[in-house]
Structure 1
Amino acid sequence: MHTILLSGGSGMRLWPLSGSLRSKMFLPLLPAPDGGTESMIGRVCRQLAQAGLDESVLFVAHQEQLAITRRYTGNKFPVIGEPHKRGTFTAAAYGALHLYSAGKARPEDIICVAPADMYADEDFFRLFPQFPDILASSQAELLLLGTQPAYPSDQYGYIVPAQGGTEAYAQVLSFAEKPDIAKARELIEEQALWNCGVFAFRLSFLLSHLQRMGLPADHAAFAVQYAGLPVRSFDKEVAEHSTKAVVVRHKGEWSDLGSWDTLAARLDSPLTGEGGLWGECRDTHIVNELKVPLHVIGVPGIVAIASPEGILVAARKEANMIKDILQEHSVQEPRYGEAGWGSYTLLDQAANGTRLVLTMILRLLPEHDIPEMDCKHSAKTWMIVSGHGEVTVNGAAAAASAGGIFTIARGDRHAVRAVSTMKLIEVRISEAGDDGRIYGS
């Protein structure tokens, strides 16, 4: 069986920590077995390895998150970049066709598609190796994984199973997409399950579906058409139209941690970062990425979240409204971003006539580098704040350590490599029409 993990998302529900460049699955906030913290994607990788599935994993990430996905998975798994965001069905097909065209998967092989951003117990992943046998014994064309709801929720889709199924699986009767709370209660009375977004099927099933849609089975040809494809979800495109689908029931812990309320419930401490909680602050959490203290006094049941992107203070149960707010109001360009080499934070930007001056801080991981590139701006200056490494300008390499200053002119080829953890301040002067990106992946 081949396991394709889909990563990405708009990153709005956990703003200001998550965003277009840093999805929620990269946030290193969850308690780890070694006593430290880990990201959601790191936790999933660890659990897949424990279930014996790590040898067959392929990640499909959006092109902008290719390097960061490789970084957070420890470069232990193959990762391919989706050229455009076109929904879970298109991303799943992109990954499956990659395996097929490369000769790594045959039509009779089982493909399992799952989201990379989920929080589940170990028993959840131990169900995955059973999928091929269940598909064979049930004669189903599609298998879904559902979990027993912990409470009525309007944030998840539901799968309604037929009654009287086997211990291992049941036939799927219908689906309900994010119902209101009253309807969710009715669905739970019908023994409905939360839809975990996990699907398993034979590759031949997907190939036949693509053929009926008039889409190619060759990965390169599929990629050529990608930009013009509509956004399609696997649920609506495939699952809801399948007449031979079964669902496997999971009775343990599962969540997509898609809100500050659900994420806060998984944190080891009510305080992450600088600051403090004082007085009656039951069920209040602070997550502070800034280097200034954030204090909450006598306010229970809220989240106070601070990052370079902004500050959010909200009742835990109401924090999901931030997604609607961000959709209704224009969002500024990200002030914080992560890449394969480290991260950057925009400190200041100032316009001076036709010129724009950006000041930012770059943090490079040890033995990582910002690859050689042409300077597409009027000027750029790097000042080394800490750490040591090497800066190369037009082929000339020089040792770089705290206090060092390097000036780069338009057209200069330049790069920096960190030996130890490095911190740099960059001042960039741009003219109208210059490359507006801060840094890519």
Structure 2
Amino acid sequence: MNRWNVVLAGGVGSRFWPLSTPERPKQLLPLISEVPMLRDTLDRMRPLAPLSQTLVLTNASLRDAVLALEPDLPPENVIAEPRPAGTCAALAWAAQVIAQRAGGDAVMICVHADWAIGDVDAYRETLAEAARVAFEERALVTVGIVPSRPDPGFGYIQPGAPVRTGVQRVARFVEKPDRERAAQMVAEGYLWNSGIFAWCVGDLLDEIRDHTPEVQPALSAAGDDLAAFFAQVKSVAIDVGVLERSARVLVLPGQFGWDDVGTWAALHRVRTRDAQDNAMLGPTFALQATGNVVHADGTQVVLYGVDDLVVVAREGLVMITTREKAADLKTLLDALPPEVRGS
């Protein structure tokens, strides 16, 4: 089995303002550890496939930054999307590139660059198993995370009929539910929709041909011309454009401390916390303060007698909110004057 890694590293991560910017988005920031999240992702994935068989899908404006972050990554392996067009377009193009280089039986393992992973060994073992199942069953395989809580911020997968030990067909995908429905689904054995996929590239391209009119005409017409493809393709997520329409989708459960780190508040779950339950990075001092998230980028932060705050300090700007409100930074950004908001 010829394995390839595909890392989705686009997006601007506006929910991590003021640290994230279009030029330095979430995946290029050291949010969980002292190194950028994309760096962590590439290091985690390297035992599954070498950098010569790793593609990074990113915005055209970030191509140079990605190559600077990982100089050993071949430049032709950074696919620079001229415009955002959804995950289906990005993964379809990656599958075509791999098929041209390695044939349709090559297996691509797809992950995102902005996740936190608690148990790296279990993560790699699960992804390797997903690749093996995809190759042997000629199926589109997704890894569903065993939920640790009923979270309305995630999509869910309902497992269906068993196919082999630990592997089931996908009965259906469910968009983000309300909290009550999320609790019910967790009790019924639903899994979080992680966005981890594995498939033979030829199988994905076949399913796109049969089920995805938003992408297939542009893929056929563009040939090897990336710009032409992205000029024509219609935006659609891989879940909607392929997985919800295909009868070849399987799921296997994953338990390795996965978190998609969608907001500042999520860092409270994935960062190391002190004895007062604070998750802090950078020069920070806290007294009689609990449950806070602090990111101090070169600026000393002192907390006294406050709880459950998010404090982000960088380059003369300090943003303070609550962990609850951190999920809704768009409201704040829309209200800020341009000179404060920045680019």
TM-score, normalising length: structure 1: 0.67
The alignment partner of 1:30 has SS state of: coil
Aligned residues of 2:4 and 2:49 also touching (Cα < 8 A): no
Extract unaligned runs of 5+ from structure 1: 32-36, 337-441
CA distance in 2 between counterparts of 1:259 and 1:157 reads 16
- The match for 1:186 among 184, 187, 193 is 184
Contact map agreement 1:94 1:223 (CA 8 A) in 2? no
8 Å Cα contact 1:216/1:222 also seen in 2 = no
> Residues 317 and 229 (structure 1 numbering): CA distance in 2 closer, same or farther, change over 3 Å?
same
Please point out which of 321, 332, 339 is paired with 1:325.
332
Q: Percent identity?
A: 23
Structure 1 residue 307 and structure 2 residue 314: aligned? yes
Question: Partners of 2:342 and 2:333 in 1: how far apart?
Answer: 15
Structure 1 residue 234: deviation in Å? 0.6
Amino acid in the other structure paired with 1:300: D
Higher normalized strand content (fraction of residues): 1
Does residue 1:264 correspond to 2:264, yes or no? no
Aligned match for 2:69, one of 64, 69, 72: 72
How many angstroms apart in 2 are the aligned matches of 1:185 and 1:136?
A: 34
Whole-angstrom distance in 2 between the partners of 1:90 and 1:324: 29
Name the amino acid aligned to 2:35: E
CA distance in 1, matches of 2:156, 2:302: 39
Q: How many Å apart are 1:181 and its aligned residue?
A: 0.9
CA 1:254–1:98: 2 relative to 1, 3 Å? same
1:331, 1:94 → 2: CA distance? 36
Indicate the SS of the match to 1:220: coil
Q: Distance in 1 between matches of 2:101 and 2:49?
A: 18
Partner SS, residue 101 of structure 2: coil
The correspondence of residues 48-197 of structure 1 with structure 2, limited to 5 A, is 48-52=45-49, 54-76=51-73, 78-100=77-99, 103-120=100-117, 121-122=119-120, 123-140=122-139, 142-162=140-160, 164=162, 166-197=164-195
- Secondary structure at the aligned position of 2:68 is classed as helix
User: What SS does the aligned partner of 2:141 have?
Assistant: strand
CA distance in 1, matches of 2:191, 2:152: 13
Q: Which has the larger radius of gyration?
A: 1
Q: Which residue of 1 aligns with 2:276?
A: none
For 1:293-329, what per-residue CA distance to the aligned partner results, in whole angstroms no more than 9, with x for missing partners?
4332211111111224943211113211113433576
- Structure 1 equivalent of residue 240 of structure 2: 236
Name the CA distance, whole Å, in 1 between partners of 2:181 and 2:338: 34
DSSP 3-state at the match of 1:276? strand
What amino acid sits opposite 2:261 in the alignment? L
Partner residue in 2 for 1:400: none
CA distance in 2, matches of 1:327, 1:163: 46
> For the Cα contact (< 8 Å) 2:5–2:49, is it kept in 1?
no
The question of whether the paired residues in 2 share the 8 Å contact of 1:97 and 1:219 is answered with no
Cα contact 1:148–1:194 (8 A) shared by 2 = yes
- Candidates 5, 14, 24, aligned match of 1:12: 14
CA distance in 2, matches of 1:303, 1:67: 31
User: Equivalent residue of 1:172, what SS?
Assistant: strand
Q: Unmatched 5+ residue regions in structure 2?
A: 274-278
| 2:249 is the counterpart of 1:245 | yes
1:163-209 deviation per Cα after TM superposition (whole angstroms, max 9, x unaligned): 65533311100111111111111111121111110122222233334
In structure 2, relative to structure 1, the CA distance for the partners of 1:75 and 1:326 (3 Å cut) is farther
1:219 to 1:114, Cα distance in 2 relative to 1, 3 A: farther
Give a deviation string over 1:333-367, Cα, whole Å, max 9, x none.
9758xxxxxxxxxxxxxxxxxxxxxxxxxxxxxxx
- Contact persistence 2:296–2:313 (CA under 8 A): yes
Question: 2:230 & 2:321 partners in 1: Cα distance?
Answer: 39
Q: Which moved more, 1:228-237 or 1:218-227?
A: 218-227
Matched-pair contact (CA < 8 Å) for 2:296–2:314: yes
What is aligned with 2:37? 40
TM-score, normalised by the number of residues in structure 2 = 0.85
* Counterparts of 2:141 and 2:15, CA distance in 1: 29
- Residue in 2 that maps onto 1:412: none
Q: Distance in 2 between matches of 1:239 and 1:323?
A: 30
Whole-angstrom distance in 1 between the partners of 2:205 and 2:281: 47
> What secondary structure, in the 3-state scheme, does the structure 2 residue paired with 1:89 have?
helix
Note if contact 1:309-1:335 (Cα within 8 Å) is conserved in structure 2: no
RMSD: 2.6
Superposed counterparts of 1:309-388, under 5 Å? 310-326=317-333
Higher relative contact order (CA closer than 8 Å, sequence separation 6+): 2
